[in-house]
Amino acid sequence: MRRTSFANWPCSVARTMDLLGDWWTPLVLREAFYGIRRFGDFQRELGIARNTLSERLRRLVEAGLMEKHVYETQPLRHEYLLTESGRDFHNVILAMTSWGDRWLAGEAGTPVVTRHASCGHDAHADVVCSHCRQPMEWADVTPRPGPGYPAQLLNRPDVRRRFHLDGAQDPAASERPADTEA
């Protein structure tokens, strides 16, 4: 069965999900962040089938998130190292962890805490504006087409509604807090 590809959609969420493809891929990356590098160690830590792990590692190497390096020649064995792109995915894992800790942690509390070495405190990820450093919350952001959005799609009514290009009211505006400035 062939799955639908989102690789060429004009949406970074869709493209990222196309790369991830399933629940095993982020877990393989999580283990890599924990320091796992070798096939057998990934398999043992995750309890994942060999063929599934082989496919996930192949996909991560092809996508440029990991590199495959020989660590033994007789027999030939490889380890998988995070690339710059792969290390940058850590922020995605931290954001997922932060959400899961808030909404899915049981009464005992969060299962894993993240220690920030720079300040020595346990911390969680916050998404902040790269310009003003204020938290970016759903009620305070508006999506709009960027320079990579296909120009031919901008005339479609559904796209114009999504980005409020006709001055249409944001359907979620009624759920957002009103502006309190005078």
The 10s digit of each residue's pLDDT in 115-144 is 999 999 999 999 999 999 999 999 999 999
Dihedral of the alpha carbons of 92, 95, 101, 103, in degrees to the nearest 10: -110
Burial class, 41, CB count within 10 angstroms (exposed 0-12 / middle 13-18 / buried 19+): middle
Q: pTM of the prediction? A: 0.82
How many Cβ atoms from other residues are within 10 Å of residue 31's Cβ? 19
| Alpha carbon of residue 178 to chain centroid | 31
CATH class of 12-88: mainly alpha
Can you read off the two tokens belonging to residue 71?
């660590």
Asked whether the predicted pLDDT for residue 13 surpasses 90, the reply is: no
Query: Domain residue spans in the chain?
Result: 12-88, 90-103+111-123, 127-166
pLDDT score of 168: 54
**For 62, what's the count of Cα atoms within 13 Å in the CB-facing half-sphere?**
8
